[in-house]
Amino acid sequence: MSKDTRISHSAVETEALGEAWGRSAHAGWVLGLSGDLGTGKTQFVRGLARGLGVTTRVSSPTFALVKEYGGGRLPLLHIDLYRLETQQQIIRAGLEEYLRPAGVTVIEWVERWESLLTSPNAVGVFRRIRIEALQDGSRRIVYEDSGA
């Protein structure tokens, strides 16, 4: 397993980091984002989308659960689990179909889908990104690659 830690000092830096990862993303990637409200998860996804070449405005899919973005070199599926409190609710929402994407799937609040983290064969290539607010207002962004 490899781990990479970065410090972001602004929303612009968080988006730029997402953009860089979007440029190197491959089909089949599932990115699990975790972090408190307001830490920059959606900002990271905006940058990721830009790195994939998506030109559509990216916003959090909190109420829709899933937003799909095309037009880039790979399609982007953006899932937000904030409103779902149990794994049973997630399963009933039928989100498993997005775990082996033709493009890239990003899941905000991935810690709510614990079975995803413990079943590596259930997903394409899973990577986890934790965003943590620091006391000085910056963000610690930790990227973990299981090597799958």
* pTM given for the model: 0.89
Helices marked H in 3-118: 11-24, 41-52, 87-92, 114-118
Q: Which domains does the chain have, with CATH numbers?
A: 2-145 (3.40.50.300)
Q: What is the pLDDT of residues 83-132, one digit of tens each?
A: 898 888 988 888 888 888 899 999 999 998 877 766 766 777 888 999 99
- DSSP state at residue 83: T
Number of H helices, E strands in the chain: 4, 7
pLDDT of res. 69: 94
